[in-house]
Amino acid sequence: MSYLLEYPVRIVSQAVISAVCVCAFSLAADDVSSLRKTERSSKRPLAIDLRIDRSVEIPPPRTQYMGRKIAQTMHYTGAPWLVRESRQREEDCRLLLEALQIQPGQTICDLGCGNGFYTLELARRVGTEGIVYAVDIQPQMLRLLVARARQEKIFNIKPVLGTFIDPRLPKEEVDLVFCVDVYHEFSHPEKMLKCIRESLSDGGQIVLAEFRGEDASVPIKPLHKMTKAQVKKELEPNGFVLEREFDELPWQHLMFFGVQSKE
């Protein structure tokens, strides 16, 4: 059961990430040109927003941040693991969703959404008056998500191709930025956190679900876990303040942060 100790496919090494950072925009450009015209139309429901600004330079990725080694990006070929049958039993995903206390009409971002395991349920919960931005840096993940959403006939989702430094969210509009098992993969945490801060509405929050680094019984490799102390150490100097914690999940911390007041 090695997948319990490691994601099944962690094949994007830091070296590859560096290369990807350099080539990210050209890869995305290739991807755009390979998409059918209909998929590119912004009027089409669930059309993937691929309009990244290719003139923006992406700095080299960090390998460490505040004493923590940054994990590799989970490759899209590992996506089936995210929708594995045992996930509910192992992570109690329904309880996690309940703990978010989502209200109909909210604007939510599923950041690092992968193939949309949580996105679809978030979209159901915000209802037709609400919207879920589904952001990932891998267009292949977004395509998998779109296929699942079409099958379920869920259309209040905006899939967005993000970059390593920018999730490309609207400013001051998002009520909750939801990051499940993603933050520890950010290769440019400060830049991502700055954009997230700017995207939050008045009273908006970022919530991190990370495998518990303090708990040796959680069968995930240490590189893919975080302690509460480390999460706080990284988020507080980036302008966030811990507002709520939910400690009832089998494997993960759930930590809600608001924006620190500027006074």
Query: 123 to each of 10, 104, 129, 203, how far by Cα in Å?
Result: 28, 9, 10, 20
Does the footprint of ligand SAM cover residue 82 (CB under 6 A)?
Answer: yes
Identity at 113, one-letter amino acid code: C
Q: How far is the CB of 196 from ligand SAM (least distance, A)?
A: 10
Does the footprint of ligand SAM cover residue 169 (CB under 6 A)?
Answer: no
Q: Are 211 and 220 in contact (CB under 8 A)?
A: yes
Q: How far is the CB of 262 from ligand SAM (least distance, A)?
A: 25
DSSP code of residue 149: H
Q: Which is nearer to ligand SAM, 76 or 257 (CB)?
A: 76
| Residues 97-116: x where in contact with ligand SAM by CB under 6 A, - otherwise, as a string | --------------xxxx--
The residue from 192, 200, 207, 254 that contacts ligand SAM (CB under 6 A) is 192
Q: How far is the CB of 127 from ligand SAM (least distance, A)?
A: 21
Q: Which is nearer to ligand SAM, 111 or 259 (CB)?
A: 111
Query: 80 to each of 4, 125, 140, 149, 234, how far by Cα in Å?
Result: 14, 24, 13, 16, 30
The residue from 24, 74, 99, 126 that contacts ligand SAM (CB under 6 A) is 74
For 148, other C-beta atoms within 10 Å of its C-beta total 17
Does the footprint of ligand SAM cover residue 91 (CB under 6 A)?
Answer: no
Q: How far is the CB of 37 from ligand SAM (least distance, A)?
A: 26
- Rounded Cα distance between 98 and 95, Å, is 5
Does the footprint of ligand SAM cover residue 120 (CB under 6 A)?
Answer: no
Q: How far is the CB of 173 from ligand SAM (least distance, A)?
A: 18
Q: Which residues of 90-126 are buried (b: 16+ CB within 10 A; e: fewer)?
A: ebbbeebbebbebeeebbbbbbbbbbbbbbbbbbebb
Token pair of 105, please? 């009409």
Bridging pattern class, strands 200-212 and 252-259: antiparallel
Site residues (vs ligand SAM, CB under 6 A): 73-74, 82, 111-114, 117-118, 135-138, 141, 162, 164, 167, 180-182, 185-186, 192
